[in-house]
Amino acid sequence: MCPFAPRFASRMANVNPSVIREILKVVSQPDITSFAGGMPAQDLFPADELAAAAQAAFRTPEITLKALQYGPSEGYPPLRAAIAAQLAAEGIDLTGNQILLTTGSQQGIFMLAQAFINPGDEIVVGSPTFLGALQAFQGFEAHFVTVPLDAGGMKMDALARVLEHRQPKFIYTIPNFQNPTGLMLTEERKAEMYALASRHGVPIVEDDPYGDLYFGPQRPSAIKALDHEGGVVLLRTFSKVLAPGLRVAYAVVPDAIVEKLIPLKQCNDLHTAALTQVMIAEYLATGGLEAHLARLRTEYRKRRDLMLAAMDAHLPEWCSWTRPEGGLFIWVTLPSGLLAAPLLEECITKEKVAFIPGDAFFAHGGGENTLRLNFSNASEAAIEDGIRRLGRVMKAARPQLARS
Ligand code: PMP
């Protein structure tokens, strides 16, 4: 026996590799057409503009110091001010110190888990929902209370029933172009969710990485805009609108919570990287973001249209899928009994095309007959050709893969 055999904390039994990250390792070879990752388009990164912003971060000794020295835990003040202006334009009321920069929204999720979850505490999540959130909550030994989704997002009658009988610590929701389904929580349901949360005193964690990537006429509204009682934590990120490698996101946090989250942030990493915060503030000051977002929306809409058209043409009529109005994902449902995991194996080995089996997104199992396709990070040719190959495997697979 090794004398240094690790004696982990018992909660580490709940910390396991992400299925998605394992799949991404396999499918990242260049000969595979991957619709698996939740990645923004690499051909659309504003690389020249960000390079200019990096230059700008060193243009005077004063700003260089801000970019390189330790900074405030809340975040770089000019970036917080730019974010506050954007939020005010959306009708989100802010007082005092409510914007907290985080190292990706994943850190915001993790810190909320650290701050709120005792072993056995209940958390309401959609079924399905974002795997990274499930993992973070699981790491603190949360118990999940799941609420199903339909075409209008999380079902409010089911949520109402849950809140009648239970006292969850919070409701975790991705209202806009949800990961993994691409679905929207309707405007009526946003209001209903807020009213239910307020009536029962259960805060909402509103995770909104995709709201800026809308294909309709305007940005969907934030639940946070309804909140004048300190009941909603809003998480947003620059990962999908600029670049995930920057690792800059922010949480909009009610006063009563932010007092604890700032020292918690200090325990985690003191503050989010100053250089990338300064770069983003410099980039925003050029006024270039709106044009970049407009380009992303146009391009992503084009890719979504292409993928849906290819699916209409090549996928068998016995499967169905969402037609998202924004974001990065389409969600496919196969006939029950037809399993996505072995289908993925067939797809990789026979046709070199990949997706994410949907069961990973369900807190309590299920969804084995579902899968997630990403449309943002593939070329037009790859979308058409990859979906044709996926259709070929599906059509051939149905009899063999169906459970007996
Ligand atoms: N929330 C959701 C719903 C996501 O899909 C993602 C990334 N895929 C994140 C949070 C984390 O994003 P990041 O840490 O890059 O800001």
pLDDT tens digit sequence for 26-47? 778 888 999 998 899 999 999 9
| pLDDT in the model for residue 401 | 54
Query: For residue 132, how far is its CA from the centre of ligand 1 (angstroms)?
Result: 7
Q: Could you tell which of 179, 206, 238, 356 is best to mutate to test the pocket of ligand 1, judged by most ligand atoms within 8 Å of the CB?
A: 179
| pLDDT in the model for residue 96 | 76
Q: Determine the Cα–Cα distance for residues 84 and 82; give it in Å rounded to an integer.
A: 5
Strand bridging mode 320-321 / 232-237: unpaired
| pLDDT in the model for residue 404 | 39
Query: How big is the CA angle at 92 (ends 86 and 96), to the nearest 5 degrees?
Result: 90
Query: For residue 58, how far is its CA from the centre of ligand 1 (angstroms)?
Result: 29
| pLDDT in the model for residue 353 | 95
Are 239 and 105 in contact, with CB atoms under 8 Å apart? yes
pLDDT digits (tens, 9 = 90+) for 314-333: 999 999 999 999 999 999 99
Rounding to the nearest 10 degrees, give the CA dihedral for residues 296, 301, 307, 309.
Answer: -160
Query: For residue 139, how far is its CA from the centre of ligand 1 (angstroms)?
Result: 17
Query: For residue 104, how far is its CA from the centre of ligand 1 (angstroms)?
Result: 7
Query: For residue 179, how far is its CA from the centre of ligand 1 (angstroms)?
Result: 9
Beta bridge partners of 170: 123
Residue with tokens 């946070």: 224
| pLDDT in the model for residue 23 | 82
Taking CB atoms and a 6 Å cutoff, what residues make up the pocket around ligand 1? 38, 104-106, 130, 132, 174, 179, 207, 209, 237, 239, 244, 249
Q: Determine the Cα–Cα distance for residues 379 and 42; give it in Å rounded to an integer.
A: 10
Residue with tokens 């058409």: 384
Beginning with the edge strand found earlier in the chain, give each strand of the sheet holding 204-207 in spatial order.
Answer: 99-102, 249-252, 232-237, 204-207, 170-173, 122-127, 143-150, 153-154
Q: Could you tell which of 24, 105, 238 is best to mutate to test the pocket of ligand 1, judged by most ligand atoms within 8 Å of the CB?
A: 105
> What is the CB neighbour count within 10 angstroms for residue 316?
12
Can you say whether the dihedral through the CA atoms of 145, 146, 152, 155 is positive or negative? negative
Query: For residue 240, how far is its CA from the centre of ligand 1 (angstroms)?
Result: 8
Beta bridge partners of 34: 354
Query: For residue 209, how far is its CA from the centre of ligand 1 (angstroms)?
Result: 6
Atom 5 of ligand 1: nearest residue by CA position:
179
Single-letter code of the amino acid located at 188: E
Q: Which helix (H) or strand (E) holds 131?
A: helix 131-139
Single-letter code of the amino acid located at 235: L
Kindly give the parts of the chain with pLDDT less than 50: 403-404
Q: Which helix (H) or strand (E) holds 164?
A: helix 156-165
Beta bridge partners of 236: 250
Q: Determine the Cα–Cα distance for residues 33 and 353; give it in Å rounded to an integer.
A: 5
Are 65 and 275 in contact, with CB atoms under 8 Å apart? no
Q: Could you tell which of 18, 130, 210 is best to mutate to test the pocket of ligand 1, judged by most ligand atoms within 8 Å of the CB?
A: 130
| pLDDT in the model for residue 348 | 93
Q: Return contacts of 155-160, CB within 8 angstroms, 24+ apart.
A: 156/189, 156/192, 156/193, 156/196, 159/124, 159/193, 159/196, 160/196
